[in-house]
Each structure stands twice: as C-alpha cells, then as structure tokens.
Amino acid sequence: MKKIRIAMMAAAMALCVTSVAKAQDAGAQQQGGRRGGGRGGMQVLLKDITLTDAQKAQFDSISKAYSDKNADLMTAARGGDADARSKMMANREQQTKDIEAILTADQKTVFEKNVADMAAARQAGGRPPFAL
C-alpha cells in the first residue's frame, strides 16, 4: 500500500513539474522571447512605440506573412542549406522595411534608434540594451 502511495505522489509531482515548465515556455513565447519565433526580434524593435489598433493589425499581418515565408527556410537551414540563411536574412530586411512603412514619422525615429541599438549590440556580441 505504501509503495502505491509513493508511486502516485511521484506521478503527481511529475505532472506538476511538466505543467509549470510548459507554462513558463508559453509565457516566454507571449512576451516575444527568442523561443517565441519570428515576431520576437520585431517586437523588440517596437520598444517605446505605441501602435494604433490599425498598426497592430498590420504588424501582426506582416509578422505572420514573414513567419510563414521563413518556416520552410528554417527547416532547410537546419538541414545544411547555406542559401536558406541568406534568403531568411533578406526576408528579415524586407520585413523591417515593411514594418517601418506602417509607422508615423515620430515612430520611425524611435524605430531607427532601436534598429541601431540592436545592430550595435550584435556587433559587440552582447544583447541589446533592452530585454529580448
């Protein structure tokens, strides 16, 4: 009887740990963390920019379109396709231009500063001065 109780407790603990780990991963994805996929970097570039509802809808549409474009390229890059990486970088540059196109002049100024900050951080080998 005691062995059954210990086994049940171990199983319950395993389920709790699994659900907590899953919840933490989902939280990172919603915050636009690196594990969140294609939108993470672009979300960081919008730091200190307040988008209108229309801009948010356009941003989401652009992000989804490029995420879909890059899905197959990511698979190819993991498989050793060197050309896929350059195509993804070209997509990233175009995505940045597309997002910048939906911004107002004031928003573009902040956006360009965020782009410069991120580029400087990459060159320095560190993280940008704001959380990813």
Q: What is the pLDDT of residues 38-86, one digit of tens each?
A: 456 678 888 999 999 999 999 999 999 999 999 989 999 898 888 998 9
CA distance 38 to 44: 11
pTM: 0.61
Together in a domain, 83 and 18:
no
Answer whether 62's CB lies under 8 Å from 99's CB.
yes
Whether 29 shows a pLDDT value over 50: the answer reads no
Q: Would 20 be classed as within a structural domain?
A: yes
Number of structural domains, the chain? 2
Residue-number span of the structural domain to which 76 is assigned:
38-124
CA distance 41 to 118: 9
Confidence bin at 107 (pLDDT 50/70/90): very high
| DSSP class of 132 | -
